[in-house]
């Protein structure tokens, strides 16, 4: 019998084993009173089963609201529960009903977090996942090795089409690999997608004609589901090579819907991820989330980078990058996207910690805010990464490359 | 200029006014360093503006991970920020990018929660909202007044088609208004939607032919987006009168996609709502969430009921019911769905606290677990509500109605 194994961290003031049994019951055959029809046959075929309970030290945090029991005796544990696949089938939305569903609302727990999911191959049969992945993206970009260096259009809101074109021109002339719209820039009436596509492609196409290489521009096509296909087609027909969606805003199901219709790589932004992940007591952790996003079909997924401006520690970021790079169901190779507060001075530390060149490193302010302009910002990133990969120290390279020295001076280093 | 007003509760150990300005900047014209092009013109047209900051007592909770500053001097506040609509347009996914997006990940805050949204009429133009609402549902059910009494198929998993049909037969013969699939029952290979529809309609249609009244059955059609329309059509063509989706599992965008194609009321289940709402420090509160769900097009939305088995207090539940019933953008009237641990003994307290009959009250175990069987469970609910509305005490009615007395004896009361 195929099963889905879900790993949770929970904390409870009630008897631990009974609480874990409640969780398994709530999400399979249980209800709050014994009801007729709930026979042994049914339980044997359909009940979720508790596979392990590994106790952890109590968190010391006050419980989430509504938790039952005397919290001074709370116990915390990592638990693993197996759910029969035939209860819900290889369907991402219905998988979530089983492994997440109402669990977060149980008063039996004062903390409950979905940490990881082990999925049977039936999900690989149902979900093709990334259509391009690491190698497909490299091929489209025309960069076989080294990290892909990218940037975000900033300011994210308010540029005219001409200003956007001028900005893109400056950056592509500096040899960038990748540019993305901001997550705020989906359907802005102040610069609609069709106009962005026209403005950007009016720069990229002549550049590609001249150089034989077209930087990838991820157009943010996030919108109502009914517009996703048309938005995608707009980009495709204009000769664009990537679309971006905010995974949590169109939903995992929305990403999969796009994937079924997409002929371009899908750049997955994780906006709103923090809403269900920043609390250590609640929600869904990145390790579980990224598997769902890969199944849904993203080719790139945001992980943040080290020394980012958001809340995540370097340790968390590095764990996220590692999770995204780990093969899953025999493949689903996608590019982790390192962003937020990234700049040239982080290249050596990032390379040392991740040990890979298969990264998409985005610097927004770290490129546009470079004291010598965006082109110098791109060069600082490229040189820093080349040095890191070649084994040359940041200082040594900076002594030879003034754009790098200026970047370190302005944005710092690790 | 049309604006969206978002209300947040935040807590920060950094200077309060500066932190709120950071939030407004992050979600509109800001980035982490001053960049070229960010001119005054652009700011004037596109910047989100802080409208109010009302300080609240500190929460006393430890901050979310990664919060900057010395938490012993943390300040908490309710803040209101206005976002120019032309930054993102009347698009639910892109609205969320602006008012939620990366905000939850800011290290400047140790707590941030989106509490409410005031939306301009442009959203009403873009989103038709509920196609049936309260009156349309009443009409289909054939019950002009009084609460709609409903139940959930339990056990949720593992019934055969014949067992399901037998269960439904028993319940409809008792005069129930509404039955729903469990949220776990979307696409279960062990009892696929097509078989559920066949089994249920084989009972409902003869019953309707005989009595002139067809109870509403909400078939859980939650699945990948591409299957929603076909699933809906399956129900429609079989003569069914309602479809159910888990709002957070197909996504708000998925609900809207279904709404554009639906000829039936959409029963909105809130599974996984707790993942981004149970922490008082993080995520999105019900008042904001229910507006988004109503725009997306649900006709019914789960609020829980008082004395429920989940974490929410009666105060929270009553606030949710009130929020769902409050007119919004000139309409969007939907039915609040009271569920979880509901039984006959709660009718008087619920009616007294809500002051309305426009409720869909679901009892799962409270009906199926009734000591005299499901039919007696239905009667106990109906009698209790009739008494509450007629002004007869629970005890007086129970003295006359043995099914009610048995229900109170088994499930308790308020």
The predicted-structure confidence for A374-396, as pLDDT tens digits, reads as follows: 889 999 999 999 999 999 999 99
Least Cα separation, residue A330 to chain B (angstroms) = 22
Please report residues of B whose CB lies closer than 8 A to that of A89: 187-189
For residue A42, the model assigns a pLDDT of: 78
Average the pLDDT over B189-203 and give the result. Answer: 95
In terms of CA atoms, which chain A residue is nearest residue B87? A188
The pTM for the full model equals: 0.96
Average the pLDDT over B255-272 and give the result. Answer: 98
Do the Cβ atoms of B223 and A282 come within 8 Å?
no
Q: Residue count of chain B, please give it.
A: 414
What's the complex ipTM?
Answer: 0.96
Per domain, the residue ranges of chain A are: 3-126, 133-411
Please report residues of A whose CB lies closer than 8 A to that of B36: 368, 373
In terms of CA atoms, which chain A residue is nearest residue B370? A35
For residue A32, the model assigns a pLDDT of: 42
For residue B33, the model assigns a pLDDT of: 45
Confidence of residue A33 (pLDDT cuts 50, 70, 90): very low
Confidence of residue B92 (pLDDT cuts 50, 70, 90): very high
Nearest to A187 among B62, B91, B190 (CB): B91
Nearest to B275 among A251, A284, A310 (CB): A284
The answer regarding whether domain A133-411 maps to CATH 3.50.50.60 reads no
In the numeric block, which tokens belong to residue A246? 């905010």
For residue A190, the model assigns a pLDDT of: 86
Sequence-separated (6 or more) residues with CB below 8 Å from residue A44:
none
Please report residues of A whose CB lies closer than 8 A to that of B104: 272-275, 278
Q: What is the pLDDT of residues B348-377, one digit of tens each?
A: 999 999 999 999 999 988 998 899 988 899
Do the Cβ atoms of B37 and A155 come within 8 Å?
yes
Confidence of residue A37 (pLDDT cuts 50, 70, 90): low
Q: Is the pLDDT of residue B32 over 50?
A: no
SS3 for chain B is CCEEEEEEEEEECCCHHHHHHHHHHHCCCCCCCCCCCCCHHHHHHHCCEEEEEEEECCCCCCCCCCCCCCHHHCEEEEEEEEEEHHHCCCCHHHHHHHHCCCHHHECCCCEEEEEEEECCCHHHHHCCCCCCHHHHHHHHHCCCCCCEEEEECCCCCCCCHHHHHHHHHHHHHCCCCEEECCCCCCCCCCCCHHHHHHHHHHHHHHHHHHHCCCCEEEEECCCCHHHHHHHHHHHHHCCCCEEEEEHHHHHHHHHHHHHHHCCCCEEEECCCHHHHCCCCCEEECHHHHHHHHHHHCCCEEECCCCCCCECCCHHHHHHHHHHHHCCECCECCCEEEECCCCCHHHHHHHHHHHCCCCCEEECCHHHHCCCCCHHHHHHHHHHHHHHHHHCCCHHHHHHHCHHHHHHHHHHCCC
Q: Number of A:B CB contacts under 8 A?
A: 350
Do the Cβ atoms of A278 and B64 come within 8 Å?
yes
Distance CA A398, CA A340 (A): 22
pLDDT top residue among A365 and A61: A61
Round the average pLDDT of chain B to a whole number and report it.
95
Do the Cβ atoms of B283 and A275 come within 8 Å?
yes
Q: What is the pLDDT of residues B132-145, one digit of tens each?
A: 999 999 999 999 99
Candidates B148, B177, B181; CA nearest to B164 is: B181
Which range among A76-85, A239-248, B160-169 shows the weakest confidence by mean pLDDT? B160-169
Q: Is the pLDDT of residue B240 over 90?
A: yes
Q: Is the pLDDT of residue A40 over 80?
A: no
Least Cα separation, residue B277 to chain A (angstroms) = 8
For testing the chain A interface, which of B126, B183, B188, B243 should be mutated: the one with the most A CBs within 10 Å? B188
Among residues of chain A, what percentage have pLDDT more than 70? 98
Average the pLDDT over B122-129 and give the result. Answer: 97
Least Cα separation, residue B42 to chain A (angstroms) = 6
Average the pLDDT over B341-350 and give the result. Answer: 97
Q: What is the CATH number of domain A3-126?
A: 3.30.70.150
For residue A374, the model assigns a pLDDT of: 84
For testing the chain B interface, which of A221, A247, A249 should be mutated: the one with the most B CBs within 10 Å? A249
């Amino acid at each position: 019998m195929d099963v889905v194994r879900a790993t949770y961290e929970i904390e409870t003031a009630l008897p631990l084993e009974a609480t874990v049994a409640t969780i398994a019951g709530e999400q399979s055959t249980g209800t709050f009173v014994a009801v007729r029809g709930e026979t042994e046959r049914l339980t044997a075929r359909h009940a979720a089963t508790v596979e392990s309970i590994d106790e952890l030290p109590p968190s010391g945090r006050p419980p989430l609201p509504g938790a039952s029991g005397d919290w001074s005796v709370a116990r915390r544990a990592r638990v693993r529960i197996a759910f029969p696949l035939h209860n819900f089938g290889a369907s991402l939305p219905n998988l979530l009903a089983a492994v997440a569903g109402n669990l977060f609302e149980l008063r039996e727990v004062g903390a409950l977090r979905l940490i990881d999911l082990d999925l049977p191959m039936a999900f690989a049969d149902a979900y093709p996942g990334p259509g391009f992945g690491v190698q497909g993206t490299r091929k489209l970009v025309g960069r076989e090795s080294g990290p892909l260096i990218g940037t975000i259009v900033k300011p994210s809101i308010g540029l005219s089409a001409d200003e956007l074109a001028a900005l893109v021109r400056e950056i592509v002339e500096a040899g960038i690999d990748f540019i993305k719209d901001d997550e705020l820039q989906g359907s802005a009436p102040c610069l609609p997608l069709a106009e962005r596509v026209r403005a950007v492609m009016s720069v990229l196409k002549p550049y590609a004609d001249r150089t034989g290489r077209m930087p990838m521009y991820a157009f943010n096509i996030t919108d109502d589901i009914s517009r996703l296909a048309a938005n995608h087609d707009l980009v495709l027909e204009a000769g664009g090579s990537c679309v971006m969606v905010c995974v949590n805003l169109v939903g995992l199901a929305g990403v999969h819907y796009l994937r079924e219709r997409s002929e371009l790589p899908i750049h997955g932004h994780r906006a709103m991820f923090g809403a269900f992940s920043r609390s250590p007591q609640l929600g869904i952790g990145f390790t579980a989330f990224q598997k769902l996003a890969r199944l849904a079909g993203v080719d790139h997924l945001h992980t943040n980078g080290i020394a980012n401006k958001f809340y995540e520690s370097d340790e968390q970021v590095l764990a996220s990058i590692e999770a995204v790079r780990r093969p899953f169901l025999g493949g689903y190779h996608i590019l982790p996207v390192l962003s937020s507060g990234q700049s040239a001075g982080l290249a050596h530390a990032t390379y040392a910690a991740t040990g890979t060149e298969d990264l998409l490193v985005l610097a927004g302010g770290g490129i546009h805010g470079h004291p010598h302009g965006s082109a110098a910002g791109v060069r600082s990133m490229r040189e820093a990464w080349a040095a890191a990969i070649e084994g040359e120290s940041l200082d040594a390279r900076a002594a030879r490359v003034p754009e790098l020295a200026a970047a370190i001076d302005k944005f710092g280093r690790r």
